[in-house]
């Protein structure tokens, strides 16, 4: 999906994001997502990612309630890298 133009939202903390993230991901820590809703696209799917999938699952529930087409990235950044997909520091 990422290669098809999906928008990736990384909801981890600053140090986690700096250590390695999906190329091109938008970084908004979980606690700041409500203040950044206007920065998220409404015309395409938003892939939400964290380290393991727990925080991103909660953010997905919130975003869906706001009308955003959001999905949780299973396994988080660990799962992403485990599939052989790139991360950048």
Q: Is 80 a catalytic residue?
A: no
Q: Which is the catalytic residue, given 8, 28, 50, 60? A: 50
For the chain, give the DSSP string.
-GGGT-EEEE-S-HHHHHH-B-TTPEE--GGGGGGGGGGS-SSS-EEEE-SSSHHHHHHHHHHHHTT--EEE-TTHHHHHHHTT---B-
Q: Which residues are catalytic?
A: 50
């Amino acid at each position: 999906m990422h290669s098809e133009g999906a928008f990736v939202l990384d909801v981890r903390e600053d140090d986690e994001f700096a250590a390695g993230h999906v190329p091109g991901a938008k970084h908004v820590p979980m606690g700041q997502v409500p203040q950044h809703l206007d920065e998220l696209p409404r015309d395409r799917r938003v892939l939400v990612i964290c380290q393991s999938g727990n925080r991103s699952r909660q953010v997905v529930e919130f975003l869906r309630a706001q009308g955003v087409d959001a999905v949780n990235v299973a396994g988080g950044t660990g799962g992403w890298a485990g599939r052989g997909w790139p991360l950048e520091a």
